[in-house]
Structure 1
Amino acid sequence: MCKKILWLIFFTCNLLLAETNSTLKLEDAMKTEVLHQKVAAIDETIQNNLWYKRYGNYLSYQKLIEELSTVDAELKKVKTAKDKVSVEKRERLTSKQESLEKQIELLQEFKNSPFSKIIESTDLETYPKITNPLAIISALSYIKKIKQDSMDYKAQIDRLDLLVTKLKEKLALIEEIYQIEPMITNEDMIYDAQKELNAFIVAQEIASTSYSLHVKKVEEATIRITQDITLQMKRAFNIGIFIVVVIVFTLLLKFFAKRYIKDNERFYTANKIINFANVTLIILILLFSYIENVSYLVTVLGFASAGIAIAMKDWFMSILGWMVIIFGGSFHVGDRIKVKKDGLPYVGDIIDISLLRMTVLEDITLTSYMENTRSGRIFFVPNNLIFSAVISNYTHGTMRTVWDGINIYITFGSNHKKAVHIAREITKKYSKGYTDIARKQLNLLRNQYSLKNTNVEPRIFSFVEPQGFCINCWYMTNSYAALSLRGTIGCEIIDAFMQEDDITIAYQTHNINIGKQERPSFPPDELKSPDEKSLF
């Protein structure tokens, strides 16, 4: 009876123990399933991580290298064998060798460690030297670039940190699974996970150190460039103030010149000189402020001057001509000049004298009436033309008058003495004002030139010409309105001659004699020779 009771108790205990073990196994299985799902979720997450992909490609490349080495070793063993099995094996190994070589070629970019770019200390590009305000733009771009590179570097470090965190979680889950079910998860899986994690941890530690050094370099470069920008801005501000002072001083000079110089021509010349001096001074300020080695520039210009002088000969001659014009005083703005180029004469007023040319406005003159038959054009005279051509100035210095002449023909039967007297009186009457002005102007020119003949009274000459008796009248007239006085004097002389009975104006005529045409006479037949008779 006791044995039965003991057996019943033992059976009941075994049954309870079996049920307990079954319950524990079910709980462990469920827990293991949950852990496996977590590991799978981590694997799915890290698959999209750039560092994990690069590391996987790097391992694949190394594995392919090992396989290729193994295949090469096996291929050497069967290379000389000639039996059928060895030949088939050699062909199979050769095919595999070619396939591995192609795969290695495709993965060539993953030859080196994927962490080489972030674990090495990256040197910054040489930051630009700020020597002028324009360089500030490139300096700001440089600062923006290195800060953007630093942010990209930090993003790579963050992705690596996230990957290390996920791999640590994965390793912990694998170890926990191993503790529950050692048969399912072996130590090799833990070793591989630990090895993979260690590779990323080492890269993380070195990358963090490299990033810290990179940040310090970026901060140092930013501070230096910021200091250079501040210094350059202060320098530009000081130069700007100095230029403003020069401009204000120039405006004051122009104001005083306009107020105290009443002559328009002198004011124009003074204004040009002030502008030229102002621009030159500003250029010199900028030149000596922003060119570090001016002597080097002078040396370069010295070597290049010969070639420049040949290539830009006309420009240099025009600049030299401008200096002669400005400082020599031969021409001024407002002067009336006559230029002859390629056989064509041009007469006009100078409206501007620049560094390379004179701008001339063509006016209606005797030249335009006789030769050009048009006027009103603006033409440009290169300054270098004063060295190679004759340029007439109708209003040089104080002169504002020129000699003008007119020819009037009378017949040989006219009273030429009376005609000359009438022409002289009319010419004196209408040119008297200009004659007085010319006399004063010539007296003023005596201080500058040696003038011997200063007779400005009208001059009347008489000549015998084929078409009649020529009365040549010369008189002083306004340089800018010679045609007006010419027309007035000519018309007055013609009217005076027309009122005189003994004076006849001559003009070109042609005599044509028209008479009765006589028939040619022929000798009588009896005087003709036999040959002549046969012709008629």
Structure 2
Amino acid sequence: MKKIILILLSIFFIFAQEDRIEEIERQIQELDASIQSSNNIWIRKYANFENYNKVYIQIQQLEKELKKNKNQANSPDNLFKKHQLETQIETLQKQLQLLNEYKDDPFKELVQKPEITDIPNVSNPFSIISGIGYIKQLENQKKNLERNQYTLDNALSILNAKYKLLQEVYKIDKNAKKYQIYQTQSKILELQSAQDILKTTTDIYTKESQEIISKISLQIKNQLFKLIYIAIAVLISFGIAFIFKVFTRKYIHDNERAYMASKIINFFNITVIVLILLFAYLENVTYLVAVLGFASAGLAIAMKDLFMSILGWLVITIGGSVHVGDRIRVSKDGCIYVGDVLDISVLRITLYEDVTLTTFLDNRRAGRIIFIPNNYIFTTMISNYTHGGMKTVWDGVDFTITFDSNVSKACEIANEVATKYSKGYTETTRKQLSKMRNKYALRNSNVEPKTFSLIDHNGIRISVWYQTNAYATLSLRSAISAEIIERILKEQDIMIAYNTTKLIKDGTDGFGNKMVQTYPIEVD
């Protein structure tokens, strides 16, 4: 009875062990499936390492077999086998070359410390972006190391669980799972070694990267504070310039002078801001002076006109030869432009071309915006019609009468008409010239209309000169010319002379129906 019980217990124990082995096999398969599904990079790297060793061992075995084959007789079977072995060895050697990087250290790429190179120096606002980008790069590299550490720990936990299950199977059956136990144990040892190296690598890289991140962060912080200080200084400069402009508008009542003062304030304000920016980011003054010395020599030659324009602007601004609102005349390459100054910038004068006698006789165009480089002040004749507060200029009307006309009466008519229309401008000019005596040596201050009679090739030329508005010369010239002609035509003893040929048929001479001649005459 005892034997039967022992037999039954043995059978039960055997079945229980088989059930346990099956359960363990199922768990091992689940662990292997988990490893495969996770696509763990450490397992893949080690698999390539194992494949390299397998291929290498196969090559060694095939080479031994090939060596034995060479010692045998050269029968057709041996020759075919020899060729087959050589082909297999060649194929395996190609596979071995592909796996060569996993020969010694399959985890070299994963445990290697990332190189920290090209550390930026945040010394200006533009390098702040590169500094922030470099910090992100260091943090990403650290995250990669931490990610590798996590996947390695996960792989080791699965392999350790598998190793325990294999040991449990081995305890039940000493002949089972020996190779798998050895293989798993070797894999665990390799991964544990890589884990130790990776931990050290991560610690070293973390310390180095944190030190660099702290340094770059401090530089970024300093640059941000410097930007704030510069912004405050620039705002103060703008505030001072604004205060000066307020005082300028308050105490300078002449619009032209106020405008020019505003331009000067803007120039100095921009200069101060440029100096603030220059010295804020200037590290080596000696180096800057040397560079500026060489650069200025080259620029002085290559950009002569530009520098001459800037110098011309200083001459115009300080000398006061031209102001905004002045009417000027510029002659260049045979072209003449007359107009009002709209703006005087650092590089050029902006002129609005008005309708004048010049545009009427020469250009036949008006209303254009003319840009005159400031360097023309040194090389080109520029006439100012309204300099020193003057608002008037001398203008004249010329007409020719015949030699037998009453010259004195014609001069008297011309003078009367000119005096009539220019009376207001004459008084204004007299006052303006009185003011100009404080600055200039004026000898002849007679501003009354002047009439001249000169011998011309076809008669007596009468030229009357008078004061007129510098901005509207054509209007007054038109009015004076019309009245002079109207009055001359009424006089019987004054004849207008002009080049023409005509045949008189009706008993008049063609000059206002003056009954002087009744026969045809040719007049040249």
TM-score over 0.5 (shorter chain): yes
Contact 1:118–1:210 under 8 Å retained in 2: no
Taking a change above 3 Å as real, the CA distance of residues 89 and 306 of structure 1, as seen in their structure-2 partners, is farther
Equivalent position to 1:340, from 331, 335, 353: 331
Equivalent position to 2:276, from 282, 285, 292: 285
Equivalent position to 2:367, from 350, 372, 376: 376
Letter in 2 for 1:459: K
**How far does residue 197 in structure 1 lie from its aligned partner after superposition?**
0.5
Q: Which residue of 1 aligns with 2:158?
A: 166
> Which consecutive residues of structure 1, in runs of 5 or more, have no partner in the other structure?
1-11, 515-536
Letter in 2 for 1:479: A
Q: Which residue of 2 aligns with 1:205?
A: 196
Aligned positions, number: 502
Q: Which residue of 1 aligns with 2:28?
A: 39
Equivalent position to 1:142, from 134, 151, 174: 134
Tell me, yes or no, if structure 1 residue 13 matches structure 2 residue 2. Answer: yes
State the alpha-carbon separation in 2 of the partners of residues 499 and 513 from structure 1.
Answer: 20
**How far does residue 167 in structure 1 lie from its aligned partner after superposition?**
0.7
**How far does residue 97 in structure 1 lie from its aligned partner after superposition?**
3.7
Taking a change above 3 Å as real, the CA distance of residues 57 and 371 of structure 1, as seen in their structure-2 partners, is same
Q: Which residue of 2 aligns with 1:152?
A: 144
Max Rg structure: 1
Q: Which residue of 2 aligns with 1:5?
A: none
Tell me, yes or no, if structure 1 residue 460 matches structure 2 residue 447. Answer: no
Letter in 2 for 1:444: K
- Report Cα offsets for 1:317-368 as digits up to 9, x if no partner: 2222222222222211111111223322111111111111111111111111
Letter in 1 for 2:322: F
**How far does residue 75 in structure 1 lie from its aligned partner after superposition?**
6.7
State the alpha-carbon separation in 2 of the partners of residues 313 and 408 from structure 1.
Answer: 49
Taking a change above 3 Å as real, the CA distance of residues 255 and 30 of structure 1, as seen in their structure-2 partners, is same
Q: Counterpart of 2:342 in 1: which secondary structure?
A: strand
Taking a change above 3 Å as real, the CA distance of residues 428 and 73 of structure 1, as seen in their structure-2 partners, is farther
**How far does residue 72 in structure 1 lie from its aligned partner after superposition?**
6.4
State the alpha-carbon separation in 1 of the partners of residues 367 and 284 from structure 2.
Answer: 51
Taking a change above 3 Å as real, the CA distance of residues 349 and 279 of structure 1, as seen in their structure-2 partners, is same
**How far does residue 450 in structure 1 lie from its aligned partner after superposition?**
3.9
State the alpha-carbon separation in 2 of the partners of residues 69 and 306 from structure 1.
Answer: 77
State the alpha-carbon separation in 1 of the partners of residues 75 and 397 from structure 2.
Answer: 128
Q: Which residue of 1 aligns with 2:11?
A: 22
State the alpha-carbon separation in 1 of the partners of residues 65 and 460 from structure 2.
Answer: 131
**How far does residue 82 in structure 1 lie from its aligned partner after superposition?**
9.3
State the alpha-carbon separation in 1 of the partners of residues 356 and 67 from structure 2.
Answer: 108
Contact 2:114–2:141 under 8 Å retained in 1: no
Equivalences for residues 379-418 of structure 1 within 5 A: 379-418=370-409
**How far does residue 369 in structure 1 lie from its aligned partner after superposition?**
1.1
Tell me, yes or no, if structure 1 residue 60 matches structure 2 residue 51. Answer: yes
Q: Counterpart of 2:466 in 1: which secondary structure?
A: strand
Q: Which moved more, 1:391-400 or 1:170-179?
A: 391-400
Letter in 1 for 2:340: D
**How far does residue 169 in structure 1 lie from its aligned partner after superposition?**
0.6
Q: Counterpart of 1:291 in 2: which secondary structure?
A: coil
> What is the Cα-based RMSD across aligned positions, in Å?
2.6
Q: Which residue of 2 aligns with 1:132?
A: 124
Contact 1:334–1:350 under 8 Å retained in 2: yes
State the alpha-carbon separation in 2 of the partners of residues 23 and 390 from structure 1.
Answer: 127
Tell me, yes or no, if structure 1 residue 501 matches structure 2 residue 492. Answer: yes
Equivalent position to 1:249, from 216, 240, 248: 240
Letter in 2 for 1:35: I
**How far does residue 174 in structure 1 lie from its aligned partner after superposition?**
0.5
**What is the TM-score with the length of structure 2 in the denominator?**
0.88
State the alpha-carbon separation in 2 of the partners of residues 307 and 159 from structure 1.
Answer: 63
Taking a change above 3 Å as real, the CA distance of residues 333 and 73 of structure 1, as seen in their structure-2 partners, is farther
State the alpha-carbon separation in 1 of the partners of residues 331 and 66 from structure 2.
Answer: 97
Equivalent position to 2:265, from 256, 259, 274: 274
Taking a change above 3 Å as real, the CA distance of residues 14 and 360 of structure 1, as seen in their structure-2 partners, is same
State the alpha-carbon separation in 1 of the partners of residues 393 and 255 from structure 2.
Answer: 21
**How far does residue 183 in structure 1 lie from its aligned partner after superposition?**
2.3
State the alpha-carbon separation in 2 of the partners of residues 468 and 82 from structure 1.
Answer: 142
Taking a change above 3 Å as real, the CA distance of residues 82 and 32 of structure 1, as seen in their structure-2 partners, is closer
Tell me, yes or no, if structure 1 residue 426 matches structure 2 residue 417. Answer: yes
Tell me, yes or no, if structure 1 residue 300 matches structure 2 residue 291. Answer: yes
**What is the TM-score with the length of structure 1 in the denominator?**
0.86
Letter in 1 for 2:452: F
State the alpha-carbon separation in 2 of the partners of residues 69 and 316 from structure 1.
Answer: 83
Q: Which moved more, 1:356-365 or 1:188-197?
A: 188-197
- How many percent of aligned residue pairs carry the same amino acid? 44
- Report Cα offsets for 1:295-316 as digits up to 9, x if no partner: 3233223223333333333322
Q: Counterpart of 1:471 in 2: which secondary structure?
A: strand
Contact 1:81–1:87 under 8 Å retained in 2: no
State the alpha-carbon separation in 2 of the partners of residues 109 and 314 from structure 1.
Answer: 67
Contact 2:43–2:155 under 8 Å retained in 1: yes
Tell me, yes or no, if structure 1 residue 119 matches structure 2 residue 114. Answer: no
Letter in 1 for 2:281: Y
Letter in 2 for 1:355: V
Equivalences for residues 467-478 of structure 1 within 5 A: 467-478=458-469
Equivalences for residues 208-223 of structure 1 within 5 A: 208-223=199-214
Contact 1:360–1:380 under 8 Å retained in 2: yes
